[in-house]
Amino acid sequence: MTLAVHVDDLRKDLVLISLDGAVDAATATQVKEALEPFATRPSVIVVLDFEALTFIDSAGLGTLIATQRHLREVGSELRLTRVPSHVQRLLQITALDQALPIHHSSLDEEE
């Protein structure tokens, strides 16, 4: 499967990362590498735009959870936005919709 990752470092405290394609065992490293520079930046909101995400497996979900943990350690947070219904169902089944904040607008400070 293929994945395109686009990073927009919008402000010191806001990063938008768009994922286009599939996040699986073969591509989860791309997501991790895109997120790593922000895992040590304090007080940043990292927004993952899932609008073009076609698939995510346990490796992808594991990457999200690990990243969220690292971000929280430095006072930052991970948010998901524009989550397709098939991914939303997976997050609900795994109860990760309770752990990973999902927002309607990628640039909302508060929802």
Q: Are 51 and 16 in contact (CB under 8 A)?
A: no
The per-residue pLDDT for 107 is: 55
Is 90 within the bounds of a domain?
A: yes
Question: How far is 57 from 61, CA to CA, in rounded Å?
Answer: 6
Residues 52-76: what's their mean pLDDT? 93
* pLDDT 10s digits, 37-48: 988 889 999 999
Residues 54-66: what's their mean pLDDT? 94
Q: Are 36 and 65 in contact (CB under 8 A)?
A: no
Is 49 within the bounds of a domain?
A: yes
Question: How far is 107 from 109, CA to CA, in rounded Å?
Answer: 6
Is 36 within the bounds of a domain?
A: yes
Full domain range(s) for residue 74? 3-103
* pLDDT 10s digits, 78-92: 999 999 999 999 999
Question: How far is 2 from 19, CA to CA, in rounded Å?
Answer: 10
Residues 12-19: what's their mean pLDDT? 95
Question: How far is 68 from 98, CA to CA, in rounded Å?
Answer: 13
The per-residue pLDDT for 39 is: 84
**Percent of all residues in the chain with a pLDDT value above 70, rounded to a whole number:** 93
Is 95 within the bounds of a domain?
A: yes
The CATH code of the domain that includes 58 is 3.30.750.24
Structurally, how many domains does the chain consist of? 1
